[in-house]
Amino acid sequence: MSTDVLGNPVTLESPAALGPLNDFVEGFIASEARAANILQAQEDGSAIVQACCAALHMFAETGDAPRNARPFLARAQAAAPRATPREQRFVAAVAAWVEGDVSRAIALHEEQAREFPRDLASLKLGHYHLFNRGDSPGMLRLALAAVPAAQDVPYLHGMLAFAWEQCHFLEEAEAAARHAIAMRRKEPWAHHALAHVMLTQGRFTEGHAFLQDVSPTWTGLNSFMVTHNWWHQALFAIELERHDEALELYDQHVWAEVKEYSQDQINAISLLARLELAGADVGDRWLDVAGYLAHRLHDHVLPFLDMQYLYGLARAGRSTQAQVLMHNIETRAQRASEDARAAWQGVCVPASHGLLAHARGDWASAVDSLGTALPRLVEIGGSHAQRDLFAQVHFDALVRSGQLSGAQHLLQQQLRGQPESRRLKRQAAQLYSDLGLPSVASFF
């Protein structure tokens, strides 16, 4: 019996399938585009190959992804009796995902991490589901389970770093990220985790220099990873009020890869919105993004995605399509499974109303609707840095609606934690001036 690149036994019909399978396994955990090479082996009827092909289709994050994945899943399930217990569990986890039972998928990935801790593709997939649910402790639990058996794999330490960071253990996150990078300089997920730490701690100049230093290693990555790491670099530029640089990063990197892909789209939406909230002129860039978002009106894969599609359409002036998507979000929320109902109904719907109100200039409604959703925003997934967009929209609505005391309460706390932010200092100077506190405004 053959073994994959991590030493896990694999049951293959053809030895030629081993190379593409290894590309999927290592490419997936390394955030590299070669993970898609598994499709080169799709004629191999083995359970693990077919399950990986099904997973690859699911990562498209489109409404038709389950339909596209099912033929591969059916072949995986047919071959599963001849596969190893590890492979069988991986097939079952992908099947649960395709059928929309994410809770079962997570449970199976947790079992896999305990029994086969070197199955890091399974662990990474479990992280994906847990992240989309805002379950950071689950991410940490999953990664820690694999450390004794897979501590020689740099990508595990990158996953561990991000889990620590999302649980607010910033020192532990930085240590794990730096350990991963020391093992392998080209570890983009560890770069990403360390960028999160530096952003949270307000180390903007250092973070900007760090990403600039490691960016030459971002070769051969999947489109999400390369656009997202450049997105992080643009966030540092915005905090340092280098708007021209951030716009250049948007044009050359963030919105320059696979424009049809969901994650590339939300990177673009989020960056344009943040630039505008920071006072930059983004020109007609919303229009190009909206042309791709127009195909997302019926997807409803994740609430976190739908909320940003909605805001992008509204900011581009596509009010009719935005209204259709808002209606479809409400319908999706009504039909949500028990597992997903709270996120869709209790968070996504009010937040979406707030985002739509903000895009339309209805500041008071934006404050009310976003204010309802913000305390529970973690339930829709995304990272702290990604969800901060919604807090920035809420703050902008507070200021524009004249609720300056509430805005001061939020802004001053942020500024104390991030004194290097020129963006926050400029906003604070204007806010204190508007509050009739010119002497305080002069501090900034």
Q: Do residues 139 and 127 make contact, with C-beta atoms less than 8 angstroms apart? A: yes
DSSP state of 363: H
Q: Do residues 143 and 163 make contact, with C-beta atoms less than 8 angstroms apart? A: yes
- DSSP notation for 204-236: HHHHHHHHHHHGGG--SB-HHHHHHHHHHHHHH
Q: What is the pLDDT of residue 194?
A: 98
Beta-carbon neighbour count of residue 375 at 10 Å?
9
Q: Do residues 239 and 204 make contact, with C-beta atoms less than 8 angstroms apart? A: yes
Q: What is the pLDDT of residue 443?
A: 87
HSE value, Cβ hemisphere, 13 Å, CA-based, for 117? 15
| CA atoms of 372 and 424, how far apart (whole Å) | 24
Q: What is the pLDDT of residue 442?
A: 86
Q: Burial letters for 95-129: b for 16+ Cβ neighbours within 10 Å, e otherwise?
A: bbbbeebbebbbebbbebbeebbbbbbbbbbbbbb
Residue spans per domain, the chain: 1-150, 284-383
Residues 6+ apart with CB under 8 A from 7: 118
- Look up the pTM and report it: 0.97
175-183 CB contacts, 8 Å cutoff, 24+ apart: 180/154, 180/155, 180/156, 181/154, 181/214, 183/154, 183/157
At 137, list the tokens: 């402790």
Q: Do residues 95 and 55 make contact, with C-beta atoms less than 8 angstroms apart? A: no
Block mean pLDDT (10 aa), the chain, length 444: 96 97 98 98 98 98 97 98 98 98 98 98 98 98 98 98 98 98 98 98 98 98 98 98 98 98 98 98 98 97 98 98 98 93 97 98 98 97 97 98 97 95 96 95 85
Locate the DSSP E strands across 104-258.
none
Name residue, tokens 């036994």. Answer: 9
Beta-carbon neighbour count of residue 200 at 10 Å?
18
Q: Burial letters for 16-51: b for 16+ Cβ neighbours within 10 Å, e otherwise?
A: ebbebbbbbbbbbbbbbbbbbbbbebbebbbbbbbb
| CA atoms of 362 and 349, how far apart (whole Å) | 17
Q: What is the pLDDT of residue 444?
A: 85
Residues 6+ apart with CB under 8 A from 249: 230, 231, 233, 234, 237
